[in-house]
Amino acid sequence: MEKLLEMKGITKRFPGVIANRDVNFDLVSGEVHALLGENGAGKSTLMKILFGIYKPDSGEVFLDGKPLEVNSPSSAIAAGIGMIHQHFMLVPSLSVTENVALGMGTSKMHEVERQLEDLANEYNLIVDPKAKIWQLSVGERQRVEILKALYRNAKLLVLDEPTAVLTPQEVEDFFETLRKLADNGRGLIFISHKLPEVLL
């Protein structure tokens, strides 16, 4: 099967610590891959390299078999990579639709809203597109982050400790969404330090 993502020989050093040493990692489309480890093990660092937040000291990244050079999150997004951070990147005073459209250079909010409703129904990410972010629960805010990545056509989604803030019912819904995303051919990287949920 064709690899969606390949990371070869990734090394990242910080003063006094080597966060990643010669890491090799690959992912195929339609796969959910868990990165499991204790806090501080270097999981998030590796994914922040993929998302253009950090630059590796050495190593190569390939997406769809082609060399990938990401210098910023915006270049990662343009390449089809979405990242759902532990701490959401949303503007509380704006609506769901406005947050999704932010930075996309569009003024056709009704069109964004229609596409959001389609994505929400397809992946069971139901949220009111007109609601302000501050009005939403933590689980709903996470849905907005996932919708934001899907709206930007992410073919690879990185989810950093996504269940840490969710209720048991929200965790169940979240895993159902992951399965649907994988069934539709997206690659998913799930970062966690909880072994039981990785085995689900």
pLDDT tens-digit profile of 145-161? Answer: 999 999 999 999 999 88
Q: What is the rounded average pLDDT of the residues 130-144?
A: 93
Q: Is residue 164 over pLDDT 70? A: yes
CATH number at residue 178: 3.40.50.300
Asked whether residue 200 is assigned to any structural domain, the reply reads: no
Asked whether residue 198 is assigned to any structural domain, the reply reads: no
Q: Which domain holds residue 169?
A: 3-192
pLDDT digits (tens, 9 = 90+) for 22-57: 999 999 999 999 888 877 788 889 999 999 999 999
Asked whether residue 39 is assigned to any structural domain, the reply reads: yes
Q: Is residue 66 over pLDDT 80? A: yes
Asked whether residue 197 is assigned to any structural domain, the reply reads: no
pLDDT digits (tens, 9 = 90+) for 95-126: 999 999 987 776 688 899 999 999 999 999 99
Q: Is residue 196 over pLDDT 60? A: no
Q: What is the rounded average pLDDT of the residues 52-64?
A: 94
What is the pLDDT, as a whole number, of residue 195? 59
What is the pLDDT, as a whole number, of residue 194? 65
Q: What is the rounded average pLDDT of the residues 61-78?
A: 92
Give the span between the Cα atoms of 182 and 53, in whole angstroms. Answer: 25
What is the pLDDT, as a whole number, of residue 57? 95
Asked whether residue 157 is assigned to any structural domain, the reply reads: yes
Asked whether residue 36 is assigned to any structural domain, the reply reads: yes
Asked whether residue 70 is assigned to any structural domain, the reply reads: yes
Give the span between the Cα atoms of 102 and 145, in whole angstroms. Answer: 12
What is the pLDDT, as a whole number, of residue 167? 85
Q: How many structural domains comprise the chain?
A: 1
Q: Is residue 190 over pLDDT 80? A: yes
pLDDT averaged over every residue in the chain: 89
Give the span between the Cα atoms of 54 and 76, in whole angstroms. Answer: 12
